[in-house]
Structure 1
């Protein structure tokens, strides 16, 4: 089921980036690929999903191809394929999320980061170097 949550206003959270999965590892890349599919399908309202889907698919295809051809890493593809069997569950979650949305499409679109060029995306991740094996 879900997680319980408590609000503690004095709590301090320390985030250890990739604490359970090494940055750039096949394990992490698989999880990122799977979770990306789920997050987009759950959270994008229909009008925004339809508007951005061509760009999402193009960038995602490029990302998977770079992983396969440049890094020889199929884990991002495996992650996306792992997302498929859970799509009925994700669809149910999507309905609940979209029904409980409290901001307008215009407000949501204004909060979204503008599309970046493929070159900017490539440069953003160059600091990671080659994927560990």
Structure 2
């Protein structure tokens, strides 16, 4: 088998048949020189074998973690054992268009300064609607998927810059991934892609959305309670600001940042004052650790504050969809 040009990592707890569709969509790509790493996220070997035991493709590898570590840790581990110059993440409730890998590699090769490529992710339940067209962050640190719920024709034109990928289906240049240290495992899940994208932007690495690279996402298939998801989002919004906002932006928008973080994030299923409080308290408990990370991140910043500010949205989305 020829050397892989792209490695695709799928973390999974093997709780859904959707995983088989995800795996098949990778193995059926028009560009055959790829590898697929499925991370068995804390399930028994018997469960994993029952789900994927009949796949005999040599490009497929399964690696295991002893316990369910949710998202960041299994993705980091999967990337660490992969080999290709480009790496990608794919949710186990998402699947790829057959030309996805070919399109991603072509976009990277045509844009050597690009650190990551975002896909146009379509809602699998209603393929006329967008699930994400990359992610954005507003001036106060709030993040969401771009154009979630918009019709497909709302996205006209070709390749263009966005703030960051959505890790439901994301691709990275390995050198860029390693330069920023991969996903921050303290985040556990949610906003981890925005945090990584922020760190890449601070180093001057652009993110490009290629609408021809399509994936399909069912969404809300991970067995996670809504309250825990809201807790993680509330906590991680604070950490994203603490780690990544330059001092000049913090000073300029301090009052608005505080006000934004004092309001519960509006999710699809509503919001909760209780999760707001628990999330912010958890953020404060580890704030000293985030400040240590901040020192290194801000010391290596290469982008100007003005250029960074121009990338941030001046308004927040009405609903946080991550």
Fold in common (TM above 0.5): yes
The CA deviation at 1:62 is 2.7
1:31 aligns with 2:232: yes
The CA deviation at 1:79 is 0.8
Greater per-residue helix proportion? 1
1:48 aligns with 2:242: no
Greater per-residue strand proportion? 2
1:81 aligns with 2:281: yes
89, 94, 109: which one pairs with 1:13?
Answer: 89
Query: How many residues in Structure 1 have an aligned counterpart in Structure 2?
Result: 115
Superposed CA deviations along residues 74-105 of structure 1, whole A, max 9, x for unmatched, are 01210110111211111110000000111111
CA distance in 1, matches of 2:275, 2:320: 18
Which has the higher Rg, Structure 1 or Structure 2? 2
CA distance in 2, matches of 1:36, 1:126: 11
- Which residue of 2 is the match for residue 131 of structure 1? none
CA distance in 1, matches of 2:301, 2:271: 39
1:97 aligns with 2:297: yes
- Which residue of 1 is the match for residue 114 of structure 2? none
Q: Relative contact order (alpha carbons < 8 A, sep ≥ 6): 1 or 2 greater?
A: 1
1:125 aligns with 2:201: no
Runs of 4+ in 1 over 4 A off after TM superposition: 2-7, 9-12, 70-73
Alignment gaps of 5+ in structure 2: 1-72, 91-167, 169-216
Superposed CA deviations along residues 95-133 of structure 1, whole A, max 9, x for unmatched, are 0000011111111011111134xxxx4xx2299xxxxxx
The CA deviation at 1:50 is 1.1
CA distance in 2, matches of 1:12, 1:71: 31
The CA deviation at 1:34 is 0.9
CA distance in 1, matches of 2:264, 2:272: 12
TM-score when scaled to structure 2?
0.31
CA distance in 2, matches of 1:115, 1:52: 13
1:61 aligns with 2:255: no
The CA deviation at 1:71 is 5.1
